[in-house]
Amino acid sequence: MRNKGDFLFTSESVSEGHPDKVADRISDTVLDCFLAADPEARVACETLVTTNRIVLAGEVRGPASVTQELLVEATRAAVRDIGYDQSGFSWRNAEVQYYLHAQSADIAVGVDSDGNKDEGAGDQGIMFGFATRETETLMPAPIHYAHGILRRMNELRKSGDPRGRGLQPDAKSQVTLHYVDGRPVGATSVVISTQHDEGMAQADIREALRGIVADVLPAGWEVPEDQFYVNPTGIFVIGGPDGDCGLTGRKIIVDTYGGAAPHGGGAFSGKDPTKVDRSAAYVCRYLAKNIVAAGLADRCTLQIAYAIGVSQPLSVYVDLDGSGHDVDEARLERVLREVVDLTPRGIRKHLRLNRPIYAATAAYGHFGRTPDPAADSFTWEKTDLVETLQQAFNR
């Protein structure tokens, strides 16, 4: 997204009950089960969900205590927590097919440390991080508010609040913002599609959602009535995996920056942190956020590249998009390598990623979240490098 001019920009989000997010949640639940038993476990779990059927497949390496029975039970618990107990998809009786097998020895030998060889990256790839002063979370505003609407809907649905009555788990949102001189000044349209109880009047759904949107958007950003779209196709009773097949890793733009920044193409969910698709994307966000939080720039895009089996990154690239405050980008790239060990092992240790913290990341974005001190989660959202970066640039 450009940082100057007058334009409209749109981002979308999907709820935890969207079929692809159900798949992400299950994959990350499997990952958490392995990491709870062994912090060094290796997991690459893909999930498919459809009408009353869940398919687990992929490669794992972990203790025998993580049994098929344990993972099937955890899968059902995840579906129950999301809220699916419908005739077409229920945690109680959905068939769970299990096709997880041992990790390839060819991959393991490239990743494992051995003698003088440090642990290598679990795959080749390019990962991006981004931060901007548009919101208090240093996230792009369109995805920030799109997530916020669905998160609020979910809270009301699960709490039993009257405003969430009749709403079912599957939902999508889309927010279009008006930018003037590169800064968001208001919303021009909001789209929400939500699964609901049979027989529920669309006018009632619209009224409830209008209040939810007003709670989330800044004051004065109310959209015109003819630009507020609720269930544009009409009735939305059949939803979730019963209405549409879901797969792990199909919402990578929802998971990151809503299209406002580049994406390397790798998905996150179901992958242990030796996979740089996940861990390096997290450290890219961490570094970009700390750069902006330190006042070195108003926007930051950061890229890191890896080769499979190689521990050190092939490149570190920083683009401040003309918003830097007397900061040399080439020097900043060198400083970042000094303040954080960017090897896969170094990233995992710095952000404490070898823990069962991932089910919570599966919906409403991996970035822009508030770290939970009790769970020590979302460590990549902390701004604990601010002072170090400021000292490096004499601020």
Known binding-site positions for K(+): 46
For tokens 């049979």, what's the residue?
198
> Which amino acid is it at 340?
V
Annotated binding site for L-methionine: 59, 103, 244, 275
**Residue 185 — φ and ψ, nearest 5°?**
-120, -10
Residues 68 and 53: their CA atoms lie apart, in Å, by: 16
Cβ(112)–Cβ(229) below 8 Å? no
3-state DSSP call for residue 360? helix
Task: Based on DSSP, count helices (H) and strands (E) in the chain, helices before strands.
Answer: 11, 13
Annotated binding site: 18, 20, 46, 59, 103, 170-172, 244, 250-251, 267, 271, 275
Strand pairing report for 183-196 and 228-230? parallel
Cα distances (angstroms) measured from residue 204 to each of 101, 162, 210, 229, 230: 48, 11, 10, 14, 11
Strand pairing report for 183-196 and 299-306? unpaired
Annotated binding site for ATP: 18, 170-172, 244, 250-251, 267, 271
Annotated binding site for Mg(2+): 20
Nearest residue to 146 (alpha-carbon basis) of 264, 18, 250, 234: 18
Tally of residues, the chain: 395
* The dihedral sign for the CA sequence 225, 226, 232, 235: positive
Strand pairing report for 95-102 and 53-61? parallel
Residues 6 or more apart whose Cβ sits within 8 Å of residue 370: 137, 378, 381
Residues 140 and 32: their CA atoms lie apart, in Å, by: 29
Sheet holding 53-61, edge to edge: 95-102, 53-61, 42-50, 246-247
Kindly write down the DSSP assignment for every residue of 305-349, as one continuous string. Answer: EE-BT--S-SEEEEE-TT-BSS--HHHHHHHHHHHS--SHHHHHH
